[in-house]
């Protein structure tokens, strides 16, 4: 389990993991925080933040050095192992122990356990993807299960714990700016022609702008209209002040949501939408299971289902092909657009079988609950490709490190590789690392759950607070419940503290559900250059303040987040 706290963020997954532990399963946790699962683990590797690459490379190094590779699987179903073997040579457990402070014996124990107890499943959360090398971390994770043959058999593989309930479904339907809604890249001429014939129109194949890039593109004049559907980016986007600066300069901002959120209140136009129990349609979860959501109650007032709003706007813009009468009409079109994945999934089958996992190309196909059972992968040669990944001290060194690695390994042209680093180092002025996390009682940024009095005032007894270690508390002369001001290069918050041993020294753990102590006022605009996933991290400083100062700052934040004014501090 790498960079994930399912007991807080994914309690149903945590329940299944706990049942496995009760049956005798072994657990390895790689996490800077001593999470609930880390406290139950056979091995807890408490690494410094943003050091996944060297730790995973140390595990790979040990597995290779001790002949624990699955040589038959590697020979038959993979390519590129020689590149990874060379790339991880210097990452011995001894070296990585010195680099990270993780005891060498824990690195070796974890490597031996994962390589020898089979099948072994690997799960990770945002603590793998929210880095300037998130893609590189995923490559590293993939190297680990490939080298041990832990894929293509039940009980093995990789289980990413997604951030929201329909992340998979939204991506599958083409929400990403570089993909068609059949998971094909915009550069795929065959896919383009297929969809143009289906929709009787000419498609724009220019790759779009990722949401994390929108504020900069507004300020540059490239983006004139911004339309947010079912999201609260004033709270969820990193570097809040920069995001607010962006929407302050956009010509038109439209928000479509179920509540007048902190984002909607800043919009020029708000379109009221139906919530989950007020609409019928399909979701796809992390295991690719497409399942039915039935309407339980009617939407209030003028609220409409999202698809109805989209169709109304499209028709008023003169578009053709938006005369759907139901979500089933739309789904039938999805099946034509992407027959390889959904051709065999009719509404009737999905309901009668309680969901079906894609791919399911034909009506007599059973669906695919487990991927890669035939050991064929989604690559031109149908083999899994090992990818070399290395770690450097500074992010400015990443391009040169990647160039040198390609030369050293004599990689074929366009063969993938990755280098990563800590995105923003601590220093004398900003000596503390900020990490963000969730509470079990709140969902994402609290747009829905914070409106539940039982959750907000009952389960959530601490409210907005930061967690620091007893060592850090002593160093700053702080006690439980004291108020502090936390500053980064991007913003400032006032907040109370909780002292806990689960957080290491010189680290702040902060929940991201609250406008009152808003973690994203502190986080940077750092992102992965490939996926554009934000890092959600920063180096910060902290000082004790009085209750009077705390309350004064809280009033300022209330105006910032709950008035129509767009208020931001320009740190750029």
**DSSP assignment string, 403-460:** HHHHHHHTPPTT---EEE--SS---SSS-EEEEEE--TTS-TTSTTGGG-HIIIIII-
pLDDT of 461: 65
User: Could you tell me if 56 and 99 lie in one domain?
Assistant: yes
User: Could you tell me if 458 and 408 lie in one domain?
Assistant: no
What CATH number is given to the structural domain containing 247?
3.40.50.740
Please state whether beta strands 507-511 and 492-499 pair in parallel, antiparallel, or not at all (unpaired): unpaired
* Nearest one of 146, 112, 137, 144 to 51, comparing CA atoms: 137
Domain with 230, as residue range(s), is 209-284+289-357
Max Cα distance, the chain (Å): 68
Whether 371 is covered by a domain: the verdict is no
| Percentages (nearest 5) of helix, strand, coil residues in the chain | 40, 15, 45
| E strand map for 68-120 | 78-79
User: What is the token pair recorded at 106?
Assistant: 């824990």
Q: How far is C-alpha 526 from the geometric centre of its chain's CA atoms?
A: 14
Q: How far is C-alpha 204 from the geometric centre of its chain's CA atoms?
A: 28
What CATH number is given to the structural domain containing 80?
3.40.228.10
pLDDT of 386: 98
Print the SS3 string covering 511-568: ECCCCCCCHHHCCCCCECCCCCCECCCEEEEEEEECHHHHHHHHHHHHHHHHCCCCCC
Which residues pair with residue 541 across a beta bridge?
487
User: Could you tell me if 232 and 349 lie in one domain?
Assistant: yes
The set of residues, in sequence order, having a beta carbon less than 8 Å from that of 120 and lying 6+ positions away, is 114, 145, 148, 150, 155, 156
User: Could you tell me if 156 and 10 lie in one domain?
Assistant: yes
User: Could you tell me if 415 and 452 lie in one domain?
Assistant: no
Q: How far apart are CA 104 and CA 89, in angstroms?
A: 16
Please state whether beta strands 492-499 and 418-420 pair in parallel, antiparallel, or not at all (unpaired): unpaired
pLDDT of 440: 79
Q: How far apart are CA 307 and CA 294, in angstroms?
A: 15
What CATH number is given to the structural domain containing 478?
2.40.40.20
pLDDT of 92: 98
User: Could you tell me if 327 and 403 lie in one domain?
Assistant: no
- For the stretch 291-298, contacts whose Cβ atoms lie closer than 8 Å and that sit 24 or more positions apart, written own/partner, are 291/350, 291/354, 291/355, 292/347, 292/350, 292/351, 292/355
pLDDT of 439: 82
Asked if residue 342 lies in contact with residue 335, where contact means CB atoms within 8 angstroms, the answer is yes
Name residues of the chain where pLDDT drops below 50. Answer: none
Q: How far is C-alpha 558 from the geometric centre of its chain's CA atoms?
A: 28
DSSP class of residue 370 equals S
pTM above 0.85, yes or no: yes
Please state whether beta strands 483-487 and 538-545 pair in parallel, antiparallel, or not at all (unpaired): antiparallel
* Nearest one of 237, 249, 187, 241 to 213, comparing CA atoms: 237
CB atoms within 10 A of CB 11: 11
Q: How far apart are CA 34 and CA 505, in angstroms?
A: 12
Whether 61 is covered by a domain: the verdict is yes
Q: How far apart are CA 223 and CA 218, in angstroms?
A: 5
DSSP class of residue 300 equals P
Whether 427 is covered by a domain: the verdict is no
Whether 483 is covered by a domain: the verdict is yes
Could you tell me the CA-to-CA distances from 93 to 60, 83, 144, 310, 386 in Å, in that order?
10, 19, 15, 54, 21
Q: How far apart are CA 476 and CA 64, in angstroms?
A: 45
What 3-state DSSP class applies to 202? Answer: coil
CA atoms within 13 A on the CB side of 387: 18
pLDDT of 460: 67
Please state whether beta strands 432-437 and 465-468 pair in parallel, antiparallel, or not at all (unpaired): unpaired
Could you tell me the CA-to-CA distances from 2 to 123, 165, 201, 384, 539 in Å, in that order?
6, 20, 45, 21, 22
User: Could you tell me if 341 and 387 lie in one domain?
Assistant: no
In the chain the first and final C-alpha atoms are separated, in Å, by 37
pLDDT of 572: 59
Whether 177 is covered by a domain: the verdict is no
User: Could you tell me if 142 and 11 lie in one domain?
Assistant: yes
pLDDT of 323: 95
CA quadruple 61, 67, 73, 76: dihedral positive or negative? positive
Annotate 3-62 with DSSP letters as a single string: S--HHHH-HHHHHHHHHHHHTT---EEE-SS--HHHHH-SEEE-PPTT-HHHHHHHHHHH
User: Could you tell me if 408 and 469 lie in one domain?
Assistant: no
Whether 550 is covered by a domain: the verdict is yes
User: Could you tell me if 468 and 500 lie in one domain?
Assistant: yes
275: alpha, beta or left, given left = phi > 0 and alpha = psi -120 to 50?
A: beta
Give 491-520 pLDDT, tens digit per residue. Answer: 999 999 999 999 999 999 998 888 999 999
Whether 88 is covered by a domain: the verdict is yes
User: Could you tell me if 147 and 267 lie in one domain?
Assistant: no
Whether 200 is covered by a domain: the verdict is no
Segments in 101-188 forming alpha helices (H)? 104-116, 126-129, 134-147, 167-172
Give 348-377 pLDDT, tens digit per residue. Answer: 999 999 999 999 999 999 999 999 999 999
User: Could you tell me if 409 and 437 lie in one domain?
Assistant: no
Q: How far apart are CA 259 and CA 448, in angstroms?
A: 8
Q: Mark 294-314 as b/e (b = at least 16 C-beta within 10 Å).
A: eeeeebeeebbbbbbbbbeee
Give how many domains the chain has, as a whole number: 3
* Nearest one of 161, 166, 448 to 292, comparing CA atoms: 166
């Amino acid at each position: 389990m790498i960079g994930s706290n399912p007991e807080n963020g994914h309690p149903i997954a945590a329940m299944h993991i706990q049942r496995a532990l009760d049956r005798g399963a072994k657990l390895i946790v790689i996490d800077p925080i001593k999470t609930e699962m880390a406290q139950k683990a056979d091995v807890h590797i408490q690494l410094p933040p943003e050091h996944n690459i060297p730790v995973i490379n140390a595990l790979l190094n040990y597995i290779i050095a001790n002949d624990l590779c699955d040589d038959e699987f590697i020979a038959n179903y993979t390519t590129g192992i020689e590149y990874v073997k060379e790339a991880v040579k210097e990452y011995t457990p001894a070296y990585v122990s010195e680099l990270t402070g993780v005891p060498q014996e824990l690195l070796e124990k974890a490597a031996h356990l994962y390589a020898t107890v089979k099948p072994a499943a690997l799960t990770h959360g945002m603590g793998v993807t929210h880095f300037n090398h998130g893609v590189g971390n995923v490559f590293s994770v993939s190297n680990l299960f490939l080298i041990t043959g832990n894929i293509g058999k039940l009980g093995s593989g990789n289980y990413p714990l997604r951030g929201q309930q329909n992340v998979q479904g939204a991506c599958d339907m083409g929400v990403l700016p570089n993909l068609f809604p059949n998971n094909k890249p915009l550069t795929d001429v065959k896919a383009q022609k297929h969809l143009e014939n289906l929709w009787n129109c000419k498609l724009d194949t220019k790759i779009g702008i990722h949401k994390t890039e929108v504020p900069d593109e507004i300020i540059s004049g490239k983006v004139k209209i911004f339309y947010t559907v079912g999201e609260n980016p004033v709270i969820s986007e990193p570097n809040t002040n920069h995001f607010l600066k962006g929407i302050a300069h956009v010509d038109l901002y439209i928000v479509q949501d179920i509540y007048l959120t902190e984002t909607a209140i800043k919009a020029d136009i708000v379109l009221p939408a139906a919530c989950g129990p007020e609409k019928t349609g399909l979701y796809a979860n992390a295991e690719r299971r497409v399942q039915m959501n039935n309407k339980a109650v009617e939407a209030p007032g003028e609220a409409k289902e999202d698809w109805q709003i989209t169709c109304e706007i499209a028709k008023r813009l003169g578009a053709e092909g938006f005369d759907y009468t139901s979500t089933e009409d739309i789904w039938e079109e999805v099946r034509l657009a992407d027959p390889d994945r959904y051709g065999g999934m009719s509404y009737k089958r999905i309901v009668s079988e309680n969901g079906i996992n894609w791919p399911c190309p034909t009506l007599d196909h059973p669906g695919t609950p487990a991927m890669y059972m035939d050991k064929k992968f989604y690559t031109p040669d149908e083999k899994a490709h090992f990818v070399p990944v290395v770690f450097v001290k500074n992010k400015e060194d990443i391009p040169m490190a990647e160039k040198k690695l390609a030369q050293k390994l004599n990689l074929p042209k366009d063969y993938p590789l990755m280098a990563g680093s800590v995105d923003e180092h601590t220093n004398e002025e900003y000596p503390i690392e900020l990490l963000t996390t969730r509470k079990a009682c709140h969902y994402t940024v609290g747009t829905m759950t914070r409106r539940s009095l039982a959750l907000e005032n009952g389960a959530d007894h601490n409210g907005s607070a930061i967690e620091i270690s007893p060592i850090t508390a002593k160093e700053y002369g702080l006690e439980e419940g004291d108020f502090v001001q936390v500053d980064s290069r991007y913003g400032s918050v006032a907040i109370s503290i909780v002292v806990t041993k689960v957080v290491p020294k010189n680290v702040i753990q902060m929940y991201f559900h609250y406008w009152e102590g808003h973690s994203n006022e502190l986080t940077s605009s750092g992102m992965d250059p490939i996926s554009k996933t934000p890092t959600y991290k920063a180096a910060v400083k902290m000082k004790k303040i009085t209750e009077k100062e705390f309350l004064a700052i809280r009033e300022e934040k209330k105006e910032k987040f709950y008035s129509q004014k767009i208020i931001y501090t320009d740190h750029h």
